[in-house]
Amino acid sequence: MAVAINDRTAEFRYIVTAAQRKHAAKPGAQRLLGDDAHRGAPGAGGPQQPPKRSEFARNAADIGRGISATMGKLEKLAQLAKKRSLFDDNPVEVNELTFIIKQDLSRLNEDIRNLQGVSKRQHPKPDQEGENNKNILLLLQGKLGDVSANFKDVLEIRTKNIQASRSRTEAFVSTVGQRAHASLPPPPSASPLYGTPARGTPSPGADLISLNPMGGGDQQLQLQMMEEGQNAYIQQRGQAIEAIESTIHELGSIFGQLAAMVSEQSEMIQRIDANTEDVVDNVEGAQKELLKYWSRVSGNRWLIAKMFGVLLSRSRLLLVHHHHHHHHFPTPRSTMTTKTFPLNTGQSIPALGLGTWQSPPGQVKTAVLHALKSGYRLIDCAYCYDNEDEVGAALAEAFAEGVVKREELFIVSKVWATYTTRVELGLEKSLGKLGVGYVDLFLVHWPLLMNPEGNDDRFPKLPNGERDIIHSHNHVDIWKQMEKLPATGKAKAIGVSNYSKRYLEQLLPHATIVPAVNQIENHPALPQQEIVDLCKEKGIHIMAYSPLGSTGGPLFTAEPVVAIAEKHGVAPAKVLLSYHIPRGSTVLAKSVTPARIDENRELLELDADDVRLLDEYAARLTREGKVQRFVYPPFGVDFGFPDKS
């Protein structure tokens, strides 16, 4: 059986070459994984010494060469593993190659881990070169993962061939032995060649004549030696199988380490993607300033007339056209920090809240305090976000300065999956960090249970890098604990988060308290209308998180979103935030930039045509199966969402 080896060397070299060209175009930039020396500029006093490559570049180049060398060894091992004949097999060479490749993989895995540490030391803050380093790390991890997977496949094929060979050998030995015993001559009887007819042994001194030089005893001895040799060989092959199985087990550990490293890189990239929202904020702010400047210039008719008089002879007609084209009535806007929706508990929940998920550490307190001073009254928190202490510091300062009173706020928190068998303890932890005596709304963050005695308080992992999840746990049991909280006075209302229609239909028949809220990812590219309709029917309020999808995602360029934004002269982000108000949903806007926090207070009052365009767009994506979910942690659990089931 041929073994297909996925050689991505060409792809790796292409990416490295592209990175070299990109860095070479920047003055003073370091060359990436390059081997040619820079030449000195003409007139600079002779050729300059080539700049030294960074420690990261040198180590990455060594790892790349190591992976290529290991792939060559693996190809040779694959050729040896394909041999099925006993005569072609070379177990000594196979075992040596297996040991060498296994050592190479362990060494390369450790080198990549060290290289990751080098990158973090050289670039503690995000920059362009740091991003390139992360991409190279991911590429090296991917190539090493491919080599490890191919190595595992080769060893499995080798094991199958050895087992098949053992079966054929045992069958052969058994058949030969039976035939040999059947072909042995009968024991000697009375014969004139012996001393007396009645004895089977010759008389003393009688002449002995042998008509069968390979007598029965010799045949039996030869067969016995052959069988012992075969048994020794089979035992040797069995030991080889055990060694291969042990190697495969060690490879599983390497895969687990690689999976953990890739998971860390993925979480880091996700955080970087979230932080780029601030860059978008700054760009949009600059765009607004330019629009204001243009508005002031366009309002100066004398300046416009002079400009067009110099450039064109028909300035009057163009000026009139420009005047009629650019002057229109402004779109009505309203401050959403004062708008509320009713809950099934009799409480009122603000239509707009500040989200704190993935907010950069060290910036949460300032953002929350600014939001409170700007009029925000809903703050969305969670124990899992690991920043409730910063939120608590902002609340304490706001209370002390008289910015707001506790009873004027609507604070939301969530019980995390490691506390879903200890819900009240999870609530106590959040209250302690927030520095308040109660929350206005407490939610089940995700309907699952992670090992409460695992190796991490928030994200326990198994040895193979997967999440340590108790799959036998019933989410209805979580809600039974939640129903005890309102009586304690520590949570005025309770609800759920990330609940699908299927999970709600499983929960509601057993609930004595109907959830007040279901917090879900919601935007035009993921309307989740089946959940929204069920919640509306049962009196469950929808709270939408990730209303923009993802920073720079497809929603910002979606045709109806762009058309509505141009119609009202606003950024697409404002259209996406405003989408939820006519749907009767609370929307969470996340930002740590003061200007953006202020801007998000004033949402559009979308008219009927705007709502129709967005609803038609959402319905079309749902009908064509093109909805996009941007938040779905790797739990390995089917939560019942149609786009993920």
Residues forming the active site: 385
Q: Confirm if 119 and 56 have CB atoms less than 8 A apart.
A: yes
- Cα 235 from Cα 380, distance rounded (Å): 65
With CA atoms as reference, report the closest residue to 372 among 598, 42, 607, 78: 598
- CA distance to 95, 239, 388, 424, 434, per residue, from 429 (Å): 55, 54, 10, 9, 9
Strand 541-545 versus strand 602-604 pairing type: unpaired
Angle, vertex CA 311, rays to CA 305 and CA 314, nearest 5: 65
- Cα 156 from Cα 476, distance rounded (Å): 43
Length in residues, the chain: 645
Which residues fall within 8 angstroms of residue 272, CB to CB, at 6 or more apart? 126, 131
Q: Coil, strand, or helix at residue 404?
A: coil
Residues pairing with 302 in the sheet: none
Residues pairing with 354 in the sheet: 379, 589
- Cα 75 from Cα 320, distance rounded (Å): 76
End-to-end CA distance of the chain: 36
With CA atoms as reference, report the closest residue to 147 among 76, 68, 77: 68
Q: What is the DSSP letter of 605?
A: -
Q: Please state the separation of Cα 176 from the chain's center in Å.
A: 58
Burial of 270 by CB count in 10 Å (0-12 exposed, 13-18 middle, 19+ buried)?
A: middle
Residue linked to tokens 């989408």: 579
Q: Coil, strand, or helix at residue 22?
A: helix
For the chain, count helices (H), then strands (E): 17, 12
Q: Confirm if 433 and 392 have CB atoms less than 8 A apart.
A: yes
| CB half-sphere exposure, 408, CA atoms < 13 A | 14
Furthest CA-CA distance within the chain: 149
Q: What is the DSSP string of 437-495?
A: S-BSEEEESSS--B-TTSSSSSS-B-TTSSB-B-TT--HHHHHHHHTTSGGGTSBS-EE
- Cα 257 from Cα 148, distance rounded (Å): 12
- Cα 3 from Cα 153, distance rounded (Å): 8
Indicate the helix (H) or strand (E) that contains 392: helix 388-401
Q: What is the DSSP letter of 332?
A: P
- Cα 374 from Cα 352, distance rounded (Å): 12
- Cα 577 from Cα 548, distance rounded (Å): 7
- Among positive and negative, which fits the CA dihedral 621, 624, 625, 626? negative
